[in-house]
Amino acid sequence: MKKYLPLLLLGLIVLIASSEATAQRRKVMNLPKYDLEPYHFGFILAVNEMHFSLKLKDGFQNVFHEPELWPERPSSDSLQLMNMTPAATPGFTIGIVGNLRLANHFDLRFVPSLSFGERHMDYQVKEYRNGADSLFSFRKSNASTFVEFPLFLKYRSKRLNNAAAYIIGGVNYRIDLASQKKNEKEILVDGSPTTIIEGIRISRNSMSLEIGTGFDFYTNFFKFGVELKMSYGLGNLVETDKYIYTSSIESLKNKLFQISFTFE
**Residue 10, SS3 per DSSP:** helix
Whether the CB-CB separation of 80 and 66 falls below 8 Å is answered with no
* Other CB atoms within 10 A of residue 246 CB: 20
* Other CB atoms within 10 A of residue 182 CB: 13
Give the residue-averaged pLDDT of 1-22: 52
pLDDT at 16: 54
Decide if pLDDT at 13 tops 60: no
Question: How many whole angstroms separate alpha carbon 41 and alpha carbon 25?
Answer: 31
pLDDT at 22: 47
pLDDT at 245: 80
Q: Give 195 or 47, the one with higher predicted confidence.
A: 47
pLDDT at 150: 96
Q: Which range has the top average pLDDT, 10-24, 102-116, 131-145, 176-190?
A: 102-116
pLDDT in tens, 57-109: 888 888 887 776 666 666 677 788 888 899 888 999 999 999 999 999 999 99
Over its C-alpha atoms, the chain yields an Rg (Å, rounded) of 24
Decide if pLDDT at 194 tops 50: no
Q: Which helix (H) or strand (E) holds 164?
A: strand 163-176
Decide if pLDDT at 20 tops 60: no
Decide if pLDDT at 3 tops 60: no
Decide if pLDDT at 26 tops 70: no
pLDDT in tens, 157-171: 988 889 999 999 999
The percent of residues in the chain predicted with pLDDT above 70, rounded, is 79
Whether the CB-CB separation of 44 and 261 falls below 8 Å is answered with yes
pLDDT in tens, 206-248: 999 999 999 999 999 999 999 999 999 998 888 777 777 888 8
Which of these ranges, 126-135, 180-189, 249-258, has the smallest mean pLDDT? 180-189
Computed over every residue of the chain, the mean pLDDT equals: 82
pLDDT at 153: 96
Decide if pLDDT at 187 tops 90: no
Decide if pLDDT at 189 tops 50: no
CA–CA distances in Å: residue 141 to residues 14, 52, 244 = 41, 12, 15
Eight-state DSSP code of residue 203? -
pLDDT at 48: 94
The percent of residues in the chain predicted with pLDDT above 90, rounded, is 38
Q: What are the residues facing 48 on neighbouring strands?
A: 91, 258
Question: How many whole angstroms separate alpha carbon 101 and alpha carbon 156?
Answer: 11
